[in-house]
Structure 1
């Protein structure tokens, strides 16, 4: 009878070990779950970036305000009759 208990405990121990540490076990599940969460966060960042780019494209296609804003900011253009003031901070 003791031998039977010993064999059953041994089998249960081996099965538990494989369930926790073995291929597709709990450890693999937790690792994959972490990887999925990281990828989900990366996807959210990319979705937000894509949405911002889509909105900018729509603004550039549909309105002159966005084009004017970009030319003013990126190219330093001013309208005729406007006065441009550049304030230089001299705190070096």
Structure 2
């Protein structure tokens, strides 16, 4: 009787082993859930960045103000007829 009990316990343990420690175990499921949450956050961040870039592209295609602002800030350009003043700080 005792050997039958030990055999049944060994059988139950061998059947339960993959569920607890195998490829599809609950530990692996928890790891994949955390990776999924991180990936969703990254996707949201990238989606916001893509939307900002899309808005900038549309603005550059349709409006001259954005092109003018970019030319002034990044390239230092001025319109014809404008006077440019550059103030320099004196360093001690």
TM-score norm. by structure 1 comes to: 0.77
The change in CA–CA distance for 1:90 and 1:16 in structure 2 (over 3 A counts) is farther
- Equivalent in the alignment of 1:11: 11
- Superposed, which structure 2 residues align to 1:36-55 within 5 Å? 36-55=36-55
Structure 2 residue runs of 5 or longer lacking an equivalent are: none
| Aligned-residue RMSD, C-alpha | 2.3
TM-score norm. by structure 2 comes to: 0.77
Helix, strand or coil at the partner of 1:65: helix
Deviations 1:64-89 (A, max 9, x none): 11111100111011233333334548
Residue-pair matches, total = 91
Runs of 4+ in structure 1 off by over 3 angstroms are 86-91
Q: 1:27, 1:89 → 2: CA distance?
A: 64
Q: How many angstroms does 1:16 deviate by?
A: 2.6
- Superposed, which structure 2 residues align to 1:3-82 within 5 Å? 3-79=3-79, 80-82=81-83
The change in CA–CA distance for 1:45 and 1:86 in structure 2 (over 3 A counts) is farther
Q: How many angstroms does 1:5 deviate by?
A: 2.3
